[in-house]
């Protein structure tokens, strides 16, 4: 049975049982506790917590998941995957243990002809939480499960939570016995390789605190309703139904390995070490494609760093398998073909996904080249010291600063006859990981932190009136200061105000919050910020400027009209720029983030490479054409499926509800899902002036622009600046570019002439240095301080010229400069001197410590730099001594 069929059967089974089929959420959700969605229940968490009312009593989904804690284990074992699919059924207070067990048992054991999976009931085992005898009794009654195939386990195995404060509960896990060939008798408690877990039924009823019940700590509360959350591993079911040994041999992973075999010339199954690399390639290629599809781009932190690491592990593994050419395009193509039947976006968005992955591969191949050069330098230094071990700090620097994988460092060190201080490297890596964990822990916000708002959330959502009006009468539902409810706030006090209705926009969707006021007789409260809690409660943050405000007061809430006008210009301008980008660059210019505020917009989009001057001009022109067309701006609410059918653009990573708001500007010109405030006609945006374009990460570019009066003020300032330049050059404004170009050319000519004169002066001193060569043994040695101010490039030219003037006798040139407190140096050794055993790199070791310098190179030429000019004379003396030792 193919994996796509396994998914479909699961969903159909639960739809027939009255569940609403819900599409997989993006791998990226706005959850402060999660880097990626790692379980099927994540998108439903607000329903379990009672923060939002579920639109259906029961649901089913197959959720895309990524777990990153075991990246280093991927490939080493056949059980770990970074990306996997979790099929689940969910009840939001509708049914509990009995029906959940019945649904699962029916699907697992029903024949394949009847739409089930057809597992032999006699090979099914289950586990239950040690203090949940009810679950065991239900398994016996519903499934006829004999008591000897039901095992009780503690919280470590049979209590489920997300690893952070939030919902959880005891669980019952379903296992399949693969038979004696896979391990010993005794059920899951004896051997989880033979008895493999396929489904986990979580009886979600608790709220866990900072400490998990998995470690024996009691829950801190009870959920408003008893719920069901289950997770069935699609890949594991596929492994069993397809009769293969592990998930890497199933229909959605084995073809990726086959492609890797073609690209590398190696065979899977022939060598254990190679097999690890093949599995890394298969897992990471699929995970990377799914992450890029959901809007992640390679970067140096957070989600971007995880993706970068996955992609670089693919490149590294392919190289270790013998691949000499890039491999990413072929691998991503295979992944797309395999996964598109269940995830069509991998096909429709293939070019962008491929571009991002190939771009990172290209960059990393350059990194490998740079790292190899630095590795060679480290090897030279280690050998010069008479050591055979590369320090762990050097390996860590190569890995952490230059992205050079430790596996390659180990392999290349062995080829050079050296070892690596792996213990030192691992220690530094552990320190770095701990710092990252401490930082992540400091930034996490537990769901329990929202407890002060829970009563207010339960009352219902704040009614947002700001689409229709800027001033609304409202009732003060609550006041908070420093996270605590207070009955009254007085003059000068900073306070959070929750109203039953509000015209002030709460920050979201890239649009910053409105500024405004809350007033009543004798009261004026300045509102500086508005934030959403649980996506439904408006929290107005501000300062009481006059009088006092009391819970229960009837007040007037007003958004600042000027602020709102500028904000709508910025947000509508963002939509215009997005539309223009797609017209000029094509559909692969996909939004990756935005910020808009009065008079200003910032827009990030997926794109490889800098935009040309013409492209920037075209984007600005198309945007302003749309402004000049005075397009009507229409907004309407529809269901998500219909909005996508109409062509409305959605933001990657955003978790949309079943109903969405569509903002349409000029019909086909721009149509996006958006909850922000907008102008009524595009002409109200005013002129759009692009300020610039730059990279903000691998594969992500950013444009910034002014709109409205801010655009006019910017252009006026630029015009004044141009007029000043024209006046200084004494030419009309339209001739300034040509005049500046003439001056630049003249400057270039002058600089070239200066460079020629300076080079001639440097070379003129070569004869003098050569004449002063001293004989040390059988070697002519020039060891001298170079003229002040000479940098590394000139120093190399001078040393090469001096070496040539020493003739056919063994000759060595060592020049140490002094430029701006730095000590650049060059060592040049001719062929006769090399034959005597004098090597440039060896000489660096003799004077390098004295000038706090390091460097390296080849036997005939080495160079580098130091930072202590006071050691120059001592360094030159050390060179003379070392040459004397080597040359007799």
Contacts (Cβ under 8 Å, ≥6 apart) of 618? 580, 584
Report the C-alpha gap between 367 and 349 in whole angstroms: 28
Backbone angles phi, psi at 232, to 5 degrees: -110, 125
Q: How many alpha carbons fall within 13 Å on the CB side of residue 319?
A: 19
- Tell whether 571 is in a known binding site: yes
Nearest residue to 51 (alpha-carbon basis) of 210, 162, 166, 159: 166
Quick check: helix, strand or coil at residue 127?
Answer: strand
Alpha-carbon distance 675 to 663, whole Å? Answer: 8
Dihedral angle over CA of 777, 781, 784, 786, nearest 10: -170
Helix (H) or strand (E) holding 106: helix 97-109
For the chain, how big is the Rg over CA atoms in Å? 34
- Return d(Cα 888, Cα 886) in angstroms, integer: 6
Question: HSE on the CB side for 584, CA within 13 Å?
Answer: 20
Between the CA of residue 546 and those of 172, 474, 531, 769, what are the distances in Å?
Answer: 59, 19, 23, 83
HSE (CB half, 13 Å, CA atoms) of 277?
25
Backbone angles phi, psi at 815, to 5 degrees: -120, 130
Q: Which of 466, 485, 462 is nearest to 539 (CA)?
A: 462
526 burial via Cβ count (<10 Å: 0-12, 13-18, 19+): middle
CA 83/CA 310 separation, integer angstroms: 11
What is the three-class DSSP state of 142?
helix
Q: Other C-beta atoms within 10 Å of 674: how many?
A: 26
Asked if 686 and 627 touch (Cβ cutoff 8 Å), the reply is yes
SS3 732: coil
Looking at 242-386, list the stretches that DSSP marks H as alpha helix, in order from N- to C-terminal side.
254-264, 272-293, 302-320, 328-339, 345-348, 350-384
How far apart (Å, rounded) are the C-alpha atoms in residues 760 and 15?
85
Tell me if 107 sits within 8 A of 117, measured CB to CB: yes
DSSP string, 447-476: GGGGHHHHHHHHH-PPEE-TTT-SEEEEEE
Phi-psi region of 879 (alpha: psi -120 to 50; beta: other; left: phi over 0): alpha
Unique residue bearing structure tokens 């193509």: 333
Establish whether 575 is an annotated binding residue.
yes
**Distance between CA atoms of 529 and 540, rounded to whole angstroms?**
6
The answer to whether 228 touches 160, Cβ cutoff 8 Å, is no
Tokens of 57: 């009593």
* Closest C-alpha to 477, from 537, 534, 526: 537
Structure tokens at 793: 């490039």
The angle subtended at Cα 768 by Cα 767 and Cα 771, nearest 5°, is: 85
367 touches 398 (CB < 8 A): no
**Binding region:** 571, 575, 674, 678
Annotated binding site for Zn(2+): 571, 575, 674, 678
């Amino acid at each position: 049975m193919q994996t796509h069929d396994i998914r479909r059967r699961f969903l159909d089974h639960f739809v027939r049982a009255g569940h609403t089929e819900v599409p997989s959420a993006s791998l990226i959700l706005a959850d402060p506790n999660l880097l990626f969605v790692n379980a099927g229940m994540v998108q439903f968490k607000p329903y379990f917590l009672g923060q939002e009312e579920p639109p259906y009593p029961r649901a089913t989904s197959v959720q895309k998941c990524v777990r990153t804690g075991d990246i280093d284990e991927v490939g080493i074992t056949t059980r770990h995957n970074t990306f996997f699919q979790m099929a689940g059924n969910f009840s939001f207070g509708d049914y509990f243990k009995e029906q959940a067990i019945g649904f699962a048992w029916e699907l697992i054991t029903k024949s394949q002809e009847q739409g089930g999976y057809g597992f032999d009931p006699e090979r099914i085992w289950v586990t239950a939480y040690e203090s949940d005898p009810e679950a065991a009794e239900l398994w016996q009654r519903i499934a006829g499960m004999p008591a000897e195939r039901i095992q009780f386990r503690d919280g470590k195995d049979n209590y489920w939570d997300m690893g952070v404060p939030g919902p959880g509960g005891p669980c019952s896990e379903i296992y399949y016995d693969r038979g004696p060939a896979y391990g010993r008798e005794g059920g899951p408690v004896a051997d989880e390789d033979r008895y493999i877990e396929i489904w986990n039924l979580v009886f979600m009823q608790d709220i866990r605190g900072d400490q998990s019940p998995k470690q024996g700590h009691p829950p801190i509360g009870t959920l408003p309703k008893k719920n069901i959350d289950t997770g069935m591993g699609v890949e594991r079911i596929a492994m069993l139904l397809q009769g293969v040994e592990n998930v890497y041999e199933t229909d959605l992973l084995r073809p990726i390995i086959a492609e890797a075999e073609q690209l590398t010339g190696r065979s899977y199954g022939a060598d254990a070490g190679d097999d690890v690399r093949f599995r890394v390639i298969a897992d990471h290629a699929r995970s990377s494609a799914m992450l890029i599809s959901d809007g992640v781009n390679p970067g140096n932190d957070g989600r971007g760093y995880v993706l970068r690491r996955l992609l670089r592990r693919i490149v590294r593994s392919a190289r270790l398998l013998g691949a000499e050419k890039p491999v990413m395009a072929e691998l991503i193509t295979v992944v797309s073909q395999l996964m598109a039947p269940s995830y069509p976006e991998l096909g429709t968005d293939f070019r962008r996904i491929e571009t991002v992955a190939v771009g990172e591969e290209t960059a990393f191949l350059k990194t490998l080249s740079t790292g190899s050069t630095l590795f060679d330098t480290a090897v030279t230094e280690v050998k010069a010291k008479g050591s055979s071990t590369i320090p762990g700090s050097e390996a860590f620097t190569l890995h952490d600063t230059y992205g050079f994988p430790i596996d390659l460092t180990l392999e290349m060190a062995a080829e050079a006859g050296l070892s690596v201080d792996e213990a030192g490297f691992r220690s530094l890596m552990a320190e770095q990981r701990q710092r990252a964990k401490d930082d992540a822990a400091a930034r996490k916000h537990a769901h329990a932190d929202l407890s002060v708002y829970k009563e207010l959330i339960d009352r219902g959502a704040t009614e947002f009136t700001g689409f229709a009006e800027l001033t609304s009468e409202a009732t003060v539902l609550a006041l908070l200061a420093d996270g605590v409810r207070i009955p009254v706030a007085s003059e000068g006090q900073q306070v959070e105000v929750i109203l039953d209705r509000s015209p002030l926009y709460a920050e979201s969707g890239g649009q910053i919050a409105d500024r405004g006021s809350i007033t009543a007789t004798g009261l004026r409260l300045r509102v500086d910020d508005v934030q959403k809690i649980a996506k439904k409660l408006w929290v107005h943050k501000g300062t009481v400027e006059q009088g006092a405000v009391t819970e229960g007061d009837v007040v007037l809430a007003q958004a600042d009209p000027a602020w709102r006008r500028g904000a709508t210009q910025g947000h509508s301008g963002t939509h215009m720029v997005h539309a223009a980008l797609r017209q000029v660059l094509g559909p692969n210019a996909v939004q990756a983030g935005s910020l808009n505020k009065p008079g200003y917009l910032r827009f990030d989009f997926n794109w490889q490479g800098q935009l040309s001057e013409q492209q920037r001009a075209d984007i600005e022109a198309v945007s302003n054409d749309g402004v000049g067309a005075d397009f009507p701006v229409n907004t309407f609410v529809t269901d998500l499926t219909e909005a996508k059918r109409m062509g409305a653009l959605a933001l990657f990573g955003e978790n949309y509800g079943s109903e969405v708001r569509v903002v349409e500007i000029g019909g086909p010109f721009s149509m996006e899902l958006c909850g922000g405030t907008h102008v009524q006609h595009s002409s109200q945006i005013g002129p759009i002036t692009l300020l610039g374009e730059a990279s903000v990460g691998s594969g992500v570019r950013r444009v910034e622009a002014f709109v409205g009066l801010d655009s006019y003020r910017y252009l006026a300032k630029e015009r004044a600046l141009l007029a000043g330049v024209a006046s200084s050059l004494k030419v009309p404004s339209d001739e300034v570019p040509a005049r500046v170009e003439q001056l630049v050319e003249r400057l270039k000519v002058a600089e070239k002439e200066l460079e020629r004169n300076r080079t001639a002066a440097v070379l003129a001193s070569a004869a003098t240095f050569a004449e002063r060569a001293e004989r040390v043994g059988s070697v002519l040695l020039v060891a001298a301080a170079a003229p002040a101010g000479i940098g590394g490039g000139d120093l190399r030219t001078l040393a090469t010229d001096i070496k040539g003037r020493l003739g056919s006798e063994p000759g060595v040139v060592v020049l140490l400069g002094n430029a701006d407190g730095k000590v650049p140096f060059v060592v040049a050794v001719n062929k006769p001197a090399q034959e005597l055993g004098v090597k440039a790199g060896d000489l660096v070791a003799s004077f390098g410590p004295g000038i706090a310098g390091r460097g390296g190179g080849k036997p005939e030429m080495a160079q580098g730099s130091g930072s202590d000019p006071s050691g120059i004379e001592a360094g030159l003396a050390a060179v003379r001594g070392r040459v004397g030792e080597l040359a007799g």
